[in-house]
Amino acid sequence: MNDSEEFDARVAKLHQPDRMVGDARVLARAEEGAGGVARAVLTAVDETILPAELTFASEAGETLTLSAAARRLRAVTAASDDLSPEEVAGRELEPEEEDGLHAALDLLVRFARGASGTVVVSERRGEENAMRGVSALRLIGMLPPDAGPVTAAVPPAPAGDGGGGARDFLAASEGRLRASMTRSPSGEVTSGGAEELAATLAQLLDGAGSDDEPALQLWAQQSGTPAGPAFGRALWADGTVLAMAFDAADVAPLVAAFQGSIND
């Protein structure tokens, strides 16, 4: 992209309305892949001129706070314990210290790989200080070419025959599914999300009846703290079957998403 095109792209982006969740701006979606999420985080740094603390969060619950100014990443301020931030948190980033930069990028990639659903950023004013930091564009260039798959992405709906109801359902259920497995009317099986749930989802697919009436069944632990994910199985009139794993708290929204997919 030459300078003129980049200018045009930035002006166009400035005119796009931001999607907000509370005080946080929607930055990316986990299904863009870990590389997409990591680039979106660094692009937010690149768009930061005045000193700011940027806190990134996804629906997986992990957060990452970066200190940024003048389009440069100055430091990783804090991150969820699950991301093992001890090595880098609170340390100033120096352009000459490649090891420190790679450690910060590794932390960013861990955040991106663990992301699910919507990734948002909230911003508060940062301190003026003497930290130089490192150019966000340089860091984008240092990202591994394949940052790897995210662990909990919504898989694509089956292509080809049928799948309209399933597509609508997946679109409406946003990032609520930890994993899913879909069997199209022609028998093609596609899956996505947490691999350790695949065996259970396959059993659910195998147990699906051949009824041609649309139906949804969900199973969840309602009492106490759920020990594991909730499960569900949906069947549409065209024969598409979808088995899914999700958080028990999402029973009601998934029922609404299914009802929307069969009533449209």
Partner 1 sequence: MSADALKVLTESHAACRAALFADLATSMVLLVESRATMHREAQQELALRGGELLSVMDRSAPDTDLAVSVTVDEVAVFLRVPDAPTDVLCCLCAPEVDLGAFAADARACLNALAGAAG
Binding piece for partner 1, criterion CB under 8 A, among 85-93, 129-137, 152-160, 246-254 = 246-254
| Residue-by-residue DSSP string for 158-189 | PPSSS-HHHHHHHHHTTT-EEEEEEE-TT--E
Binding piece for partner 1, criterion CB under 8 A, among 27-35, 72-80, 181-189, 248-256 = 248-256
Closest distance of CB 176 from partner 1, Å: 14
Closest distance of CB 158 from partner 1, Å: 21
Q: Do 183 and 210 touch, CB atoms closer than 8 A?
A: no
Neighbours of 59 (CB within 10 A): 19
User: How many residues in the shown chain lie near partner 1 by CB under 8 A?
Assistant: 30
The widest CA-to-CA distance across the chain, in whole angstroms, is 68
Closer CB to partner 1, 38 or 201, in the complex: 201
Bridge pairing between strands 24-29 and 52-58: unpaired
> Which of 215, 238, 247, 260 is close enough to bind partner 1 by CB under 8 A?
215
Distance between CA atoms of residues 20 and 28, nearest Å? 12
> Which of 214, 238, 247, 260 is close enough to bind partner 1 by CB under 8 A?
214
User: Taking CB under 8 A as the rule, does residue 223 contact partner 1?
Assistant: yes
> Which of 9, 218, 239, 244 is close enough to bind partner 1 by CB under 8 A?
218
For the record, the structure tokens of 182 come out as 């879909």
Contacts of 16 (CB under 8 A, 6+ apart): none
Closest distance of CB 218 from partner 1, Å: 4
Kindly list the residues in this chain that would bind partner 1 in the complex (CB under 8 A): 200, 203, 207, 213-224, 226-231, 248, 251-252, 255-256, 258-259, 262-263
